[in-house]
């Protein structure tokens, strides 16, 4: 998976809360659906990867999370502060309302997109534009903490980095797609990142569908200008969802 970072335009050097409300937990009931197919279809076979199997294969601790509670927490803060628009301007002009997908654990399917890309997440069922489908879950670290491996790091605007290297949820597997591309053959991003404050000092990062998403479509967002779309990142075909170059179908 390619490295990714996100930084909002705002700069907030205030002290952040050391403890975030416990909407994330480890449980044997957590799982990620898995398929051996590189491209999903109605004929694909699925199994469930337990936290133990996830740890064995990918080296991180899988957490369950309560997306609804996190979103409601952000809504409560916006109401208290009389914040009218929940989305940044670039998203607000496309989405005028949103919903919450509360069944994500049964919709997200982990599979290997290609040898170069590695593993990604596709959706088992269609998702409507405007649905908040996930929070980026990980360890919150002070922005001044030195982090060697930034593969799963998001730079937040509340003085923290959110690092999903050691523990997190399915969102750590969301792939990169450019937000736009000159060729219609290239799949463009179907998700966008939304930073929502849940208190004066804490911002959480959510993913929202910026267009209708078809069943079996890979979930992806634009990692930003640090990536060279033509060379460093393998692009997906907008119709078949296969990489636009040849690849080997390696098994898990």
DSSP conformation letters of 36-78: S-SS--TT---EEE-HHHHHHHH-SEE-EE-HHHHHHHHHHHH
Eight-state DSSP code of residue 182: S
Q: Is residue 19's pLDDT more than 80?
A: no
Global pTM reads 0.85
Q: Determine which of 43-47, 178-182, 203-207, 223-227 has the lowest per-residue pLDDT on average.
A: 223-227
Output the average pLDDT for the chain: 84
Residue 252 predicted with pLDDT over 60:
no
Please answer whether residues 166 and 139 qualify as being in contact, where contact means their C-beta atoms are separated by less than 8 angstroms.
yes
Q: CA geometry: angle at 143 spanning 138 and 148, to 5°?
A: 70
For 126, 176, 207, 211, the CA distances from 214, given in Å and listed in that order, are: 5, 17, 16, 10
Residues 6 or more apart from 224 whose CB is under 8 A from it?
4, 5, 6
pLDDT at 233: 67
Mean pLDDT of 125-152: 91
What is the predicted pLDDT for the residue at 244? 84
pLDDT of residue 65: 87
Distances (CA, A) of 170 to 22, 61, 137: 18, 11, 9
Least confident among 62-71, 93-102, 224-233: 224-233
> Is residue 170 predicted with pLDDT exceeding 80?
yes
> Are the CB atoms for 235 and 223 separated by under 8 Å?
no
For 15-23, the CB contacts below 8 A with 24+ separation are: 15/159, 15/201, 16/140, 16/142, 16/158, 16/159, 16/160, 16/201, 16/202, 17/199, 17/201, 17/202, 20/140, 20/202, 21/69, 21/73, 21/198, 23/65, 23/66, 23/69, 23/70, 23/73
CA distance 1 to 137: 17
Q: Is the pLDDT of residue 83 over 80?
A: yes
The pLDDT score that the predictor gives to residue 50 is 94
Q: Which residues pair with 139 in a beta bridge?
A: 163
- Could you confirm whether domain 24-221 is CATH 2.60.120.470? no
Average pLDDT over residues 12-19: 36
Condensed to tens digits (0 to 9), the pLDDT of residues 5-15 reads 433 334 333 33
Residue with tokens 């903490």: 145
What is the mean pLDDT of the segment spanning 127-142?
93
Whole-angstrom Cα distance, residue 220 to residue 121? 8
- Taken in order 158, 221, 219, 174, is the CA torsion positive or negative? negative
CA dist list (Å): 14 to 17, 19, 196, 200, 244: 10, 15, 16, 9, 45
- pLDDT band, very low/low/confident/very high, at 226 (cuts 50, 70, 90): low
Beta strand 32-34 pairing with 108-114: parallel
Average pLDDT over residues 111-123: 94
């Amino acid at each position: 998976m390619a490295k990714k970072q996100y930084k909002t335009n705002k700069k907030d050097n205030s002290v952040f809360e050391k403890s975030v409300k416990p909407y994330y937990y480890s449980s044997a009931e957590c799982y990620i659906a898995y398929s051996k197919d590189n491209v999903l279809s109605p004929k694909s076979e699925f199994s469930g990867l337990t936290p133990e199997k996830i740890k064995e294969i990918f080296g991180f601790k899988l957490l369950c999370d309560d997306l609804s509670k996190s979103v409601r927490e952000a809504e409560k803060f916006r109401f208290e502060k009389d914040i009218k628009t929940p989305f940044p301007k670039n998203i607000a002009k496309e989405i005028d309302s949103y919903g919450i997908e509360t069944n994500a654990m049964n919709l997200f399917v982990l599979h290997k997109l290609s040898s170069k890309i590695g593993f990604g997440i596709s959706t088992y069922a269609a998702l409507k534009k405007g649905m908040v489908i996930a929070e980026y879950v990980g360890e919150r670290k002070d922005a001044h903490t030195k982090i060697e491996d930034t593969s799963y790091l998001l730079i937040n605007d509340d003085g923290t980095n959110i690092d999903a290297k050691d523990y997190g949820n399915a969102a750590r597997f969301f792939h990169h797609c450019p937000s736009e591309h000159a060729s219609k053959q290239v799949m463009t991003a179907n998700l966008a990142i939304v930073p929502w404050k849940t208190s004066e000092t804490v911002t959480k990062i959510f993913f929202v569908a910026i267009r209708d998403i078809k069943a079996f479509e890979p979930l992806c967002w634009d990692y930003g200008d640090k990536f060279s779309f033509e060379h460093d990142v393998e692009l997906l075909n907008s119709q078949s969802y296969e990489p636009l170059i040849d690849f080997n179908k390696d098994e898990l």
